[in-house]
Structure 1
Amino acid sequence: MRAGELLGRIAYDLQGRRLGRVVDLVLRGPADGPLRLTDLVVARHWYGRMSGRLIGPQRHPSGPWAVRALARMLGRRTRQLPLDRVRLDPPLPEPPAADPAG
C-alpha cells in the first residue's frame, strides 16, 4: 500500500464520529528491519496540515517563538491516533490471502 492511498481519506472513530482527514502517517520499526504503520495524523480543518510535525502538546521545541505559537494555533485540532482506533472511508483494502497451493 502506498501513502497516497491513505492521505486525504476521511477518518472516523470506532463509534462512527468524524475525526477529520488523514494528513500524515507515522511509521515505526527497528533500525535494520521493516517499518510498520502504527498511527495516523488526523486534522479536522485543511489548515491543520500546515503545522506539519508540530502536533499535540509535545510540540517541537526549536524555532522562533512566533512560528511555534502559530503552529500551536493551527495544529490544536490535529491529533495522532493509533491505527486500530480509527476507521477510514473508504475502508482499507484487505491484504491478499496467501495462496495455499504455492
Structure 2
Amino acid sequence: MKRTIIVTISALLLSTSPLFAQDTVIVEVPQTARDYVIAHPTDPIVVEEDLTMGTAVPEDVELVPIPDAPDYSYVYVDKRPIIVSTKDRKVVYMSQ
C-alpha cells in the first residue's frame, strides 16, 4: 500500500513538473490587446528559430506596437499572431 502511494505521488510530481519550473512566468495579456492583434493582422514573417512561450523574438524582426497596450507588441508568424513583451521581446501569447 505504501509503495502504491509513493509511486502515485511520484508520477503526479513528474507529470506536473512544468508547474514547478522557476523560470516560468505566466503573463495575462489583456483581452483588448488580443482583440486588437486579431483585428489588425500583419504580413506573416518567417523566423528560423522555434518560437515558444518565453522565448525571445530575434532583434531583426520588426514588432508592431499595440496602441492601447504599450507593454506589448506583436508579429504574425506562419499566419499566427504572437504577442511579445515590448521590454524584452519574449513571447507572452500565441494563438492556438
Q: TM-score range by the shorter chain?
A: under 0.3
Which structure dedicates a bigger proportion of its chain to strand?
1
Higher radius of gyration, 1 or 2: 2
The TM-score normalised by the length of structure 1 is 0.21
Which structure dedicates a bigger proportion of its chain to helix?
2
The TM-score normalised by the length of structure 2 is 0.22
